Chains A and B, each alone.
Chain A
Amino acid sequence: MPKYTSQEFKSDQEVRWCPGCGDHAVLAALQRAMPTISEELGYEKERFVVVSGIGCSSRLPYYMNTYGFHSIHGRATAISTGIKVANPDLTVWQACGDGDALAIGGNHFIHAIRRNIDINIVLFNNQIYGLTKGQYSPTSRFGAITKTSPYGTVEHPFNPGSLVLGAKGTFFARSLDSELKLNEEIMIAAARHDGTSVMEMLTNCVIFNDGTHKAIADRDVRADRTIVLRHGEKMIFGKNRDKGLMLDGLCLKVVTIGENGITEDDILTHDAHTDNIGIHMMLADMKYPDYPVALGIIRDVKDITYDDGVRDQVAEVAAKSRIHCMDDLLRSGAVWEVAD
Chain B
Amino acid sequence: MQHEVIDTKDVVIRFAGDSGDGMQLTGSLFADMSAVYGNELSTFPDYPAEIRAPHGTVSGVSGFTVHIGREGVKTPGDFCDMLVAMNPAALRANAKWLKRTALVLVDEDTFNEQGLSRAGFKENPITELNIEDRTIIVAPITTLTRESLKDSGLDAKTVAKCKNMFTLGMACYIYSRPMEYIYGYLEKKFSRKHPELIEPNKKVLNDGYNYAANIQAIPNTYHIEPAHMKKGLYRNITGNQAVAWGLLAASEKSGLPLFCGSYPITPATSILEELALHKSLGAKTLQAEDEIAGICTAIGAAFAGSLAVTTTSGPGLSLKSEALGLAVMTELPLVVVDVQRAGPSTGIPTKTEQTDLNQVLYGRNGECPMAVIAAHSPAHCFDAAFEAAKIALEHMMPVILLSEGFIGNGSEPWLIPSMKDYPAINPPFATDAEGAYRPFERDPETLARKWAVPGQKGYEHRVGGLEKNHDGVLSSDPQNHEMMVRERAEKIARVADFIPELSVDGPDSGKLLVVGWGGTYGHIMSAISQVRASGHEVSYAHFDYINPLPRNTAEVFSKFGKILVCELNSGHFVNYLRGLMPDRSYLQCNKVQGQPFLVQELVSAIESALQSMN
Contacts and interface: CB of A to CB of B under 8 A. Distances in A.
8 contacts: A47-B455, A69-B330, A71-B296, A72-B326, A86-B284, A86-B301, A86-B308, A325-B281
B331 interface: no
Given A108-B293, A331-B233, A321 B280 contact: yes
B245 A330 contact: yes
A79 interface: yes
B279 interface: yes
Interface stretch (B216-224, B415-423, B538-546): B415-423
Contact of B454 (A65, A87, A107): A87
Contacts of B233: 331, 335-338
B290 interface: yes
Interface string B242-275: 0001001100100001010100000000000000
A86 B261 CA distance: 11
A107 B305 contact: no
Contact of B289 (A69, A108, A326, A331): A108
A89 interface: yes
B284 A310 contact: yes
A79 B473 CA distance: 21
A314 interface: yes
Given A86-B305, A330-B416, A81 B463 contact: no
A83 B464 contact: no
Contact of A82 (B301, B455, B466): B301
A338 B288 contact: no
A339 B228 CA distance: 10
A318 interface: yes
A339 B233 CA distance: 9
Best-buried of A13, A49, A71, A325 by chain B (most CB within 10 Å):
A71
Contacts of A69: 300, 303, 330, 462-464
A197 B301 CA distance: 20
B252 A46 contact: no
Nearest to A311: B284
A325 B419 contact: yes
A75 B298 CA distance: 12
A44 interface: yes
Interface of B: 32, 35-36, 38, 229-236, 245, 248-249, 252, 257, 259, 261, 278-284, 286, 288-290, 292-293, 296-306, 308, 322-323, 325-326, 330, 416-419, 454-466, 473-474
Contacts of A321: 279-280
Contacts of A84: 300
Contacts of B457: 44-46
Contact of B284 (A11, A68, A314, A331): A314
Nearest to B329: A72
Interface residues of A, number: 58
Interface of A: 11, 13, 44-47, 49, 51, 54, 61-62, 65-72, 75, 78-87, 89-90, 107-108, 111, 310, 313-314, 317-318, 320-321, 323-327, 329-331, 333-340
B289 A83 contact: no
A318 B282 contact: yes
B279 A314 contact: yes
Given A326-B252, A333-B235, A336-B35, A79 B418 contact: no
B231 A83 contact: no
A96 B313 CA distance: 30
A62 B474 contact: yes
Contact of B300 (A11, A86, A323): A86
B24 to A, nearest CB: 17
A338 B38 contact: yes
Contact of A107 (B257, B278, B293, B461): B293
B279 A317 contact: yes
